[in-house]
Structure 1
Amino acid sequence: MDNSIPEWLTIAPTWDAVNHPLEVGICSTVRGHAGKIPALYSIPALPYIAPMKIPLTLSVLLLLSACSAAPNREYTASDDRMNDLVMYTVSLADTPYRYGGNSANGGFDCSGFVDHVYRHSLGITLPRTSREISRVGTPISVDELSPGDLVFYNTQHAAYSHVGIYVGDGKFVHSPRTGESVRTEQMQMRYWKTRYNGARRIHRTLQ
């Protein structure tokens, strides 16, 4: 008897999961035949897989699939706190400038304003001057700016002599100078663009 497998046969797997490896059942699918003619050939097949392992494997795959499909949280608790910080920053608009000031009642200078906002919103105390604050946290590029990051400028012929809080959409809030009040500025204005020194992100692990 010729045990070779004709090219016109279709291989269909069958299982004997108790005592035997996977056997392969061969059924003819020749055009013109009304039905299938069963035949069985002894050919190498896949290794035996215990019946109990199959449901376990399927369960693991389904679990992994469910995890990968789970939606990501759009905001973390830290992001919520930074959003609150930005809202509080904007709410201080029109507070008058006062040299050395760091309170909403008494007024702010630029570094006092930033320190007050971070202490009030996150419980983080920052150094007293803008230059010292520029050494805290991590330097970031303009493209990496997120609301709550700090932006620094040269407004007194010295690098990092001024600081404000980025609030998104290319804007920052700061306490400018004597006779003026806390307000929002566009970073793309020529005055600010030409005096830009960089940005820092305060480590949120300090919260």
Structure 2
Amino acid sequence: MRKVSVLILALTVFLAVQAGVASAATKLDSTVSKLIGIDYDYGGTTTNGFDCSGFTSYVFKKFDLKLPHSSKEQFSLGDKVERDDLRPGDLVFFNTSGSGVSHVGIYVGDNKFAHSASKGVTISDLDEKYYAKRYLGARRVMDSDTYKDVAIEHV
């Protein structure tokens, strides 16, 4: 009986912590979460379908930041960021075509990034074998004020 009580207590604490995390979402988190599952569409820039740079452009437009609709052009913006220094809102870039920058996503924290891939808008881990082998770098395009407003939890 004691083991069952401990298990129930542990489960209750786990669920309470998860509920607290869910309620502390940032503007970036809530913007991205509404788009998860939207289909991939080459050249797409709307909720009818996104390609990778159409997705990043759409999200950043919500925060009054204009990005070009090209992963290569987005790669030339902002400041270079080392992988160990990534923060939510940084753009992460990949070579998925074999010829330089061809894919972009938005770092969302915890080693994960949101992007529009062939399976639609999803969250992936930077350490997934496919992406880890193709990672090219990251750029910070949000200034400090925008970052504080959209990517930090507001209590």
TM-score by length of 2: 0.74
1:192 corresponds to? 131
Q: 2:121 aligns with which of 174, 182, 194?
A: 182
Which runs of 4 or more aligned residues in structure 1 lie more than 4 Å from their structure 2 counterparts after TM superposition? none
Segments of structure 2 that go 5 or more residues without pairing to the other structure are: 1-24, 147-155
**CA-atom RMSD in angstroms:** 1.7
> In 2, Cα distance between the equivalents of 1:136 and 1:205?
16
1:150 Cα deviation after fit: 0.6
Q: 2:73 aligns with which of 132, 136, 140?
A: 132
Tell whether 2:83 aligns with 1:83.
Answer: no
Note the alpha carbon deviations across 1:26-69, whole angstroms, 9 max, x for none: xxxxxxxxxxxxxxxxxxxxxxxxxxxxxxxxxxxxxxxxxxxx
| Secondary structure of 1:194 counterpart | helix
* Greater RCO, 1 or 2 (C-alpha within 8 Å, sep 6+): 2
Give identity over the alignment, percent.
41
Q: 1:147 aligns with which of 80, 88, 101?
A: 88
Letter in 1 for 2:143: R
TM alignment of 1:98-177, pairs within 5 A: 98-104=41-47, 106-120=48-62, 122-177=63-118
Note the alpha carbon deviations across 1:147-186, whole angstroms, 9 max, x for none: 1111000111122110001111000011012xx2111101
Task: Name the larger-Rg structure.
Answer: 1
Note the alpha carbon deviations across 1:112-154, whole angstroms, 9 max, x for none: 000000001x111101100000001111001110011110001
Higher helix share: 2
**Equivalent residues of 2:40, 2:116 under 8 A apart:** yes
Letter in 1 for 2:134: R
**Equivalent residues of 2:38, 2:49 under 8 A apart:** yes
> In 2, Cα distance between the equivalents of 1:141 and 1:126?
21
| Secondary structure of 1:174 counterpart | strand
